[in-house]
Structure formats: structure tokens, C-alpha cells
Chains A and B, each alone.
Chain A
């Protein structure tokens, strides 16, 4: 009783020191709060403050979050951490001292709310039972010695009442504590063993743990990218636009010990600040994150309210109208998911839908009239004479994103520099990957992975040189895309990289993979040309003979998937041999996720995805002022530019005006070369739509889309209809003025729909274009030589409104198909026969004549 009263007085005194209203938001989206906290030891009724800190926590954005989005959490003033774990996530992060625990919890930290909507330890997500439940002897049961703990928490068994002894294999004489997890549905998961966890916490769950025990440096500062999960990723946690959630940041100060506490409780850590704990040795539990739920730690929490964006399916749920689909570039995808609700939720607008598709295919679909408009990021080859307008809709680009851990537990690499030649080496599969790849003919002297390449090491010092298969590949797109075209243009427009691809060795002696030597660049779809099959003693490789380099490159179909692979540190290298049992055949599959601390992976992503998932992006080389073509040992003489907003803006400034009116601007590595500060990966996504022959209803929708997208759609923000990060707004003034003006002009022209020469565009209902000749279900002939022999399928005919027989269309001419072999073969055989047939007797007669003279 005496002790309880003491604890209460103590709590009140300390509570006065805390400034609860310290939360101030400098901008609407960011969060910042300061809180002072203490660790105290009770000694015979006195309260001794052993440690006192004032911690400021900042979060860069907290509003309208989406699944897997990462927010940047930073803090200052925390206790320096010791015993740094290589992997701070989930259970692996528990063996550290004085870290800062960051958790995602359902509910708001507001005592005025009803209990069901308030956040509590029970609504905070963790992925393992060790983070929630402890069994210990009385001496080491530190939560029972906590000066701030309530009387019930000091009981030998606590957390749930009655205590679930059977489910938890509880030992009677030990002290036990569970922190059950209360799912959004109300189900309570006891969480003291693998079987009593919430389903999303299964071993090898679809997503790696997000909760983190992050490291504070010796100055008390630290930062971490925290990945938030929505109900889509974690249904039990259940965060959504209607269920508010919070980020809980708990700087671990150590347990405040009550009178009579054991020595275990009084410990202050065995690792020096800033040291590492490679081998996962035991740490002082009193200062470890394992007791984040103990009152001493929990009371120090700083809660950051989060809001979530409307779910991606809101348009399907709330709007029963038929969608108008726009097809094309995935670069726009982050913007279009944010834009879509701004259309479908307004009755005076249409239901906008963006379906990702290769730029060229989308453009062809639009030209044929099967799609209202296409999103493309450059001038596309027209299949017919229909006039098409390109309305600039978003300024973004591609980036090479990476996740690379520096050796010796020094954290992630923060700046990566890449030259076009390094990209060329990666994309042409010129690194051998491993000793298996070194058998590849013509590449024996090449480095095994990029981190062994002297060029890479000169630009990015301080990394290890361990060969990795993932370091031999740049995870890229398997499909045709303007992004691939932009990357290959970047390579082709750089003299050093172009010479390398042509077969010239780099200054350190590395040569291009012979399968790709002198490949013609740029291409819009990267071909997998390497057919090299290694010989290996491995049983699995002997049974499955498959090209090795292709397994390393293993491109995938969407930029979003690449971004998630980089986020997870999970390369798509397909060289892992598995079989379910010794009697089953071997299979080759994707390698495991890389361990945090030794990650090394590169991938091509869109700037929108990179910003959403907070991925690190490489700086690309823009200019070489000296030493071109020679060996170098550092980055001097070469300028590199990261994909920042100003660098993308500078790139847009270099764009050349379109060749045709309302055409696409010329922007790319070939134009950005003029400005060393311009990001070469910048790209403009256009809404391409027909200017003639489009049904009026569709034309109005497309014009409306362009106008809305280039006005309210360019306001930067996370809300519906706004422009997400990773895009540069197109505005009336500045670098994007020309784009803005053209978008307006195209919107007008699309809406006006110039009357077409041969068709009557008045009939809105008959929107179906003429398909292939043979009628539905039948194939149209001649995919490769359109128009040559299959007249009815010829795209040369005007696409819409062709009634069965009444109008005569101006048909395209038959293409010429000729063969010089066919033309010359017989004649040359005949000539040869005559020549040789007459020549032989002639030579003989000549010989006879000469012989006769002699």
C-alpha cells in the first residue's frame, strides 16, 4: 500500500515535468513534438533521477498515407544507443540497448476517446511473440519492479485476466506477462506463442516486419524510414481512411526501478554508445526494447496521428458508372491513383480509370479508337494519319533506386553515383555474378559484381568487395516501355558508355558481354540475348540447364514490383535451388530476402514510386569535364545529379519544342546533356488523344481530364486529386510554362474534334472501330506485314464509323514485298552455267594451243 501511494506521488511529480501539449505542426503534413522524460530509481522513499532527456520527434508526412508508404521519422535528444543490431526490425531488433522503438498502433492517443478508439499496447502491431510476452524468474521479471507499474501489473501473472496459462504453456512458479493483440475485428490474439499470434504475423509472412528498434547516434540523433501498413496489407491492424491509426515512438530510457528492485533492473547497459552487437549477444534487459510495453517505457511514448488515403477501390464501390479507361505509362500510376477519386466522386465528372500498359501498345489502342486516350512519355510512331495531340500531364521520370548497406554495420549508403557506362555494364549483363558466370566465354576478366568494379569503387568508396549475384544485375522491366527507351538513350548518348557497348574495353579492362556487343540502342524493350548455360558440379544445375545471365537479370513486369523488391531488399535473382524432398526434382527460384546489414540491390523505378516508398535513388552522371575515356580514382571532373525537383525542372528547361504542332516535346538524355544540373532521367507523361474522329462524349471527357489534371491536379499534396511527391507540378510560369500552354491547347483541340475528311464524326453511339476483317474471334492475318496482303485488317483505313458497304474508303497501297534472291537466283545460275560450261572448253583449247606452240 505504501508503495502504491509512493508510486502515485512519483507519477504526479514526474507527470508535471512532461509537456503534453508540446506537439506543434510546422506544416499541415509534417509532425513534430517534444517531450521530456526521466529514468528514476526509488531509494528508500527518495526518488533519484539517474537520466533525463528531452526528446524531439519529427515525422516528415503523416496525412493521406497509402499502403507500404514510408514516412521519415527522426529524433534528437534521445539516449545514445549501444549494441547496434544489423537488422533492427521485428524480433531481430530486441538485442539492443537504448534504441528508439517505432510502432504502428490502431487508434488515437486521446483519453477523451472511448476505449475502443484509443490506442493502447494491445493495438500496437508487432510480428513476433517475443515482443509481447515474457516469462521470467522473479528476480529478472523487471516489469514487476517498475516504479510506475500499477498494482495489477505487479502480480506474478498479468496482461490478461484470467491468465491464459494453458495456451501459453505457462510455468506456475515463474512470473509471466502477455500483451495480447486486439485486432480491428475485436478478436483478441493472446500472442504468447507462434500459434496465438494474429494471422499476419505468421513466420515468413508476405511482408517483412515494419516495427523497428532504431539506433540513436552518440549525439542523441537518429532517423528511420517507417513503412506504414493499411488494412490491405494487415487486416488485423486494420488502418484505413475510416479507422485512424497512430505511429508510436518510444525512446527507450530504461526501466525506472521501484524500491527493492533487483540488480538486473538497475543495470545501465553493457555496450558502449555507438557500438555494434553483431553476434546478437544478450543485452541488459532493463534498457532493451523488449520491455517497450512496461509502464516506464510506454509512458514516454510520443504518438503521431496518421491519416490514411481513401482505398484504391473507392471508385468501384461508390460509383456505378462505367469507367472511361485511359491506357499507358506506369510512371503516372502514383498520380492517377490519387487523381481517380477526384473524378469518380464528383457527379459532373466522368469515372476515370488508368490501366497500366506499355506506351506503344497503349498508343496503338488509342489510335484504333479502342481507348479514349493513352499515357505516353514521348512521341510515338503513328500507324496512320489520324492527327493526335499530346497534352503534358505530369513531369516525372525514372530513377535507379538502390538499397546498399555499408560494411561494419555503418548503416545504409546515402549517396550512390552511377555513370551511363556502369548502367551499360549492368544492363548488358557484363558482370559475371559468381564463379559459375566466370565460365562465360569472353568475360573471364570481368568483375563478378558491380561493387568489385574499379569504376564503381572510384565513385562510391567505402563499400565491401564481396561478389554477389544481386550486384551483377539491375532489376528492370521485362516489357516494352518508354522508361527502357530512356535508359538506353542515356547509355547510347554517352560516348564512354556507347564505346563500351560497341566492344571497346573500359580503362580497367572490362569488356561488354559478347551477346550484347554492338547492340543497337536505344530500344524500348530490353532483349534477353545471353544463351550461356554454365557447366556445374551442382546436382541441381546439372539437371536444369538454363541460361545463367538471364537468371541473374530476371526482369519483371511492372515498376511498382521493382520498387517493392528494392524496399524489401529482395532481388529477383532466380538462382536458388530447392526441392520439396530428396525424391522430387530440383526447382530454381527467387533467392531469399537479403539480410539487413549486407543488402545490395539496384532497380529501375519511377520517381513517383520512389517517393511514395521513400527509396534511395542514385545520382546519375551528367557531364564529364575532364578525363573522359581514361581511368579515374574519384568523382572529380564528373558531375552527378540526383532526381531532385530542381534537377527535373532543369531538365524540362532543356526540352526542345515539338516538331509538329501539339506533338510531344523532345526531352531526354540527348537534350539534358546541355545542362550539367539537369537530371537525365526526367520524363514528361503526356495524355495522347485523337484530334479527329473521336466520339464527342469521349472527347469531352478527355478534354475535361486534361484541364483538371493540369490545374487542380498539379497542386502538390497527398489528398485526393492532388499531385503526389515524385512529380514536378506543371504550372503557368517557370520551366513548365510551355507544357502548361500546350496542355491547354490540346484540351481545346480534343474537345473541338476537327471534322475528318472521310468520316462523319457525328454519330456518338457507333464507337466500335472496325476490327480485323474476319469478324469476331477470327484472327487477323499478317501481324508482321500489316497491309501487305490482308486488306481488311489494314490499319490504314480510317478507324471509325464504317457501315457495311455504303462508303468507299481511301485504301492504303499494297506494300512491296520483294526478294533479290528470288529475282537473281535463276539468272545467276544460268549465267554461271554458261560461263563455266563455255569456259572449260575454252581453257582447254587455250592450253592445247599453248602446248602446240611449245
Chain B
């Protein structure tokens, strides 16, 4: 009884730790790598600006001075792609182009890059650096469920919609359960749109979508975790607890981390 409760406590603690803290570290590292890649791509003028782009490719650098946000945006909005960076929805135009571009970002886990976008005010500036140059957007408002949709875009204009999640009540910071939108109109000149974008995305890439395709990988990761735990138990009997823990702590943490990362795929992509 005692030990099972302890294990439960440890698992819950680990998940909280990973979701709130460790995943943030991983996201930070991911951003560093993506930033390097985007810089190189920009220099080489190979940043994709249209057509079908492989999910996970960095496509833009998003800067919002008002909330001190600097993030590289990757293509794709499923839970996996949003782990390292805000994601650009694959059936919308690229930032800076004519039409509406949609970018999703997490609010709580993985560093919560979009945690503060709801505090943006009308008039705040959003800058997006893409393969077509720097585009400047002006925020027109924050939109929640029930608010009227913005007016239809005139031909040749551009708009950026940031999507994230937020909660309410006492634990608002931790209970981000409803999608919220921030609209911004393009104030610089809109770029032309190359043809060949997708015209639909999977459910996993819609707001609050979950990616069940990670189920198999999760099962494997949990299997690995189990194997490490069994091995550790066996080692404890064989060579005693101190030595066993010294040997086993690193594989245990690593496999727990991997399993946690996989589990995140099954959670809503905006969380």
C-alpha cells in the first residue's frame, strides 16, 4: 500500500516536473538548433515559402517585442511539431503572404512559448521573418469563443492568427482547456502566394488535436522504462542498492524522459 502510493506520487511528480520544467529545457535547446538552421537557410535563401513543406522544417522567425517573445516557427501543428517550436498550420499561407496565416503555440508545457500572447493589445507589433523578407503585423484583438469573427479580408491583404490555449478559475495557469485566438493585420506589403498548399489537415493538426499515431512509440518507450526498472531491481539484489542506483539512475531518467515525451503527443497540442 505504502510503496504503491509512493510509486504513484513519484510518477505524478515526474510527469509534472517533465511537463512544466524539463520539457521547457528541451524546447529551449530545440529553439537554439532551429534558430541555427533557419539562419543558415535564410542565408542560403532556401527557406520554403510555399508548396508542401515537410513538417518540422523551420519556416519563420516570430518576434513580438511587447511580450519579449522570440521564437522560430516550424511547419505543422501536430503535438510533436509543437514540442520544439510554435507551428505554422499547413493549409494556410506563410506569414507575410496574401491571406490568413495561422500559427499555433503551446501555452503551458514545453516552455509555454505562447503563454503571454493573450495579453497582447490592439496595436502591438508582431514581426515575422520569412524567406520573403520581414513582415510586420499589427494586433487587432484577442478573440475567445463567442466573439465575432473579424471582417473578411480584402483581396491582396494579409492576416496572422496566433492560436493558443488558456484556462480560467483558480488554477488558470495550469488548466489551459479552451482555444483562444489573436488576430493581427499585415501592415507591410503582402507577398504573393506560391501555389500548391494543402487544402486540408488531419484532426491531429486542428486546435486541441491529439496525435494518436504516437501510441506505438509510447508503448515501446514504456516497455523500455519497464525493462530498466526490472534491471535496476535485479541489480539492487545483486550488488546492493547504492551501487545499483549509481549505475541505474541515468538509464532510468533517460527512459522516463523518452516515455514522457511520447505521452505528450497524446495531449492536446495547444496545452
B197-218 contacts to A, CB under 8 A, are: 197-201, 203, 206-208, 210
A783 touches which of B99, B161, B200 (Cβ 8 Å): B200
User: Which residues of chain B have C-beta atoms less than 8 A from A818's C-beta?
Assistant: 145, 177-179, 208
CA distance A773 to B161 in the complex (A): 13
CA distance A597 to B92 in the complex (A): 58
CA distance A790 to B199 in the complex (A): 13
B5 touches which of A791, A796, A840 (Cβ 8 Å): A840
A429 shortest CB reach to chain B, Å: 26
User: Which residues of chain A have C-beta atoms less than 8 A from B8's C-beta?
Assistant: 832, 836
Q: B102 touching A820 by the CB < 8 A rule? A: no
B187 shortest CB reach to chain A, Å: 15
User: Which residues of chain B have C-beta atoms less than 8 A from A832's C-beta?
Assistant: 8-9, 12
A794 in the interface, Cβ–Cβ < 8 Å? Answer: yes
B153 touches which of A773, A813, A821, A847 (Cβ 8 Å): A773
B118 shortest CB reach to chain A, Å: 14
Q: A774 touching B179 by the CB < 8 A rule? A: no
A840: nearest chain-B partner, CB-CB: B5
CA distance A804 to B154 in the complex (A): 5
A706 shortest CB reach to chain B, Å: 32
CA distance A129 to B130 in the complex (A): 72
Q: A822 touching B149 by the CB < 8 A rule? A: no
Q: B92 touching A829 by the CB < 8 A rule? A: no
A782-799 contacts to B, CB under 8 A, are: 782-785, 787-794, 796-797
Given contacts A779-B199, A824-B175, A839-B5, contact A817 B207 (CB under 8 A): yes
> Which of B26-34, B57-65, B229-237, B263-271 is near enough to bind chain A?
B263-271
CA distance A690 to B176 in the complex (A): 42
A37 shortest CB reach to chain B, Å: 68
B193: nearest chain-A partner, CB-CB: A778
A830 in the interface, Cβ–Cβ < 8 Å? Answer: yes
User: Which residues of chain A have C-beta atoms less than 8 A from B178's C-beta?
Assistant: 816-819, 822-823
User: Which residues of chain B have C-beta atoms less than 8 A from A820's C-beta?
Assistant: 177
Q: B149 touching A847 by the CB < 8 A rule? A: no
Q: A817 touching B145 by the CB < 8 A rule? A: yes
Q: A779 touching B177 by the CB < 8 A rule? A: no
Given contacts A815-B145, A833-B9, A840-B5, contact A789 B181 (CB under 8 A): yes
B35 in the interface, Cβ–Cβ < 8 Å? Answer: no
User: Which residues of chain B have C-beta atoms less than 8 A from A777's C-beta?
Assistant: 193, 195
Tally inter-chain residue pairs, CB-CB below 8 A.
Answer: 209
Main secondary structure of the interface of B (DSSP, over half): loop
Q: B268 touching A836 by the CB < 8 A rule? A: no
B242 in the interface, Cβ–Cβ < 8 Å? Answer: no
B165 in the interface, Cβ–Cβ < 8 Å? Answer: yes
Q: A826 touching B19 by the CB < 8 A rule? A: yes
Q: A797 touching B152 by the CB < 8 A rule? A: yes
CA distance A822 to B201 in the complex (A): 21
A341 shortest CB reach to chain B, Å: 37
A783: nearest chain-B partner, CB-CB: B200
B57 shortest CB reach to chain A, Å: 18
Q: B102 touching A775 by the CB < 8 A rule? A: no
Given contacts A779-B91, A826-B108, A843-B5, contact A773 B174 (CB under 8 A): no
User: Which residues of chain B have C-beta atoms less than 8 A from A788's C-beta?
Assistant: 179, 207
Given contacts A774-B92, A790-B92, A817-B179, contact A833 B155 (CB under 8 A): no
B13 in the interface, Cβ–Cβ < 8 Å? Answer: yes
B128-172 contacts to A, CB under 8 A, are: 143-156, 159, 161, 163, 165, 167, 171
User: Which residues of chain A have C-beta atoms less than 8 A from B5's C-beta?
Assistant: 836, 839-840, 843
B47 shortest CB reach to chain A, Å: 18
User: Which residues of chain A have C-beta atoms less than 8 A from B255's C-beta?
Assistant: none
A residues near B (Cβ < 8 Å) are: 770, 772-775, 777-785, 787-794, 796-797, 802, 804-805, 808-827, 829-830, 832-833, 836-837, 839-840, 843-844, 847
Besides A819-B268, A837-B13, 13 other CB < 8 A contacts?
A: A778-B197, A782-B102, A791-B161, A792-B153, A809-B152, A811-B150, A816-B146, A822-B176, A826-B20, A829-B12, A830-B171, A836-B6, A837-B9
B residues near A (Cβ < 8 Å) are: 1-3, 5-6, 8-9, 12-13, 15-16, 19-20, 89, 91-93, 97-100, 102, 108, 143-156, 159, 161, 163, 165, 167, 171, 174-179, 181, 183, 193, 195, 197-201, 203, 206-208, 210, 267-268, 270-271
